[in-house]
Structures are given as C-alpha cells and as structure tokens.
Amino acid sequence: MNIFYLLIGVSLLVALVFLGAFIWAVRSGQFDDNETPSIRILFDDDEIDKDTDNNKEQTK
C-alpha cells in the first residue's frame, strides 16, 4: 500500500514538471506563428467574398 503513495507522489511531480515546461514554452513564445501572417495574402479569399456579396444583396 505504501508503494501507491509513492507512485501517486511521483506521478504528480512529473505532471507538475510537464505543466511547468508547457507554461514556460507558451510564455517564451514557442507556439507563436511567425510564418502564417506573411503568407496569408497568398491564400484565396473566395469564401469571404461570397459571404459579403450575399450580405449586400440581403440588405438591399
């Protein structure tokens, strides 16, 4: 039974280490997307244009 207490303690410690590493990575900008904003202009916006055209027709 004592081994369960040890295993629970160790698993909580490992989980806290991984949570700390994740929080550190988010705060240091590891998950920031630096590439997409520069290439967003190259993507087609056909769906957005159709939606705005439909909204203009409905308001007339």
Say what the pTM is: 0.55
Longest dimension (CA), the chain: 75
Q: How far apart are CA 43 and CA 49, in angstroms?
A: 13
Q: pLDDT tens digits, the chain, 60 residues: what are they?
A: 899 999 999 999 999 999 999 999 999 988 888 888 788 888 776 665 555 666 666 665
- What pLDDT is attached to residue 49? 54
Residues 12/5, Cβ–Cβ less than 8 Å: no
Q: What residue segments make up the domains of the chain, in order of their start?
A: 2-59
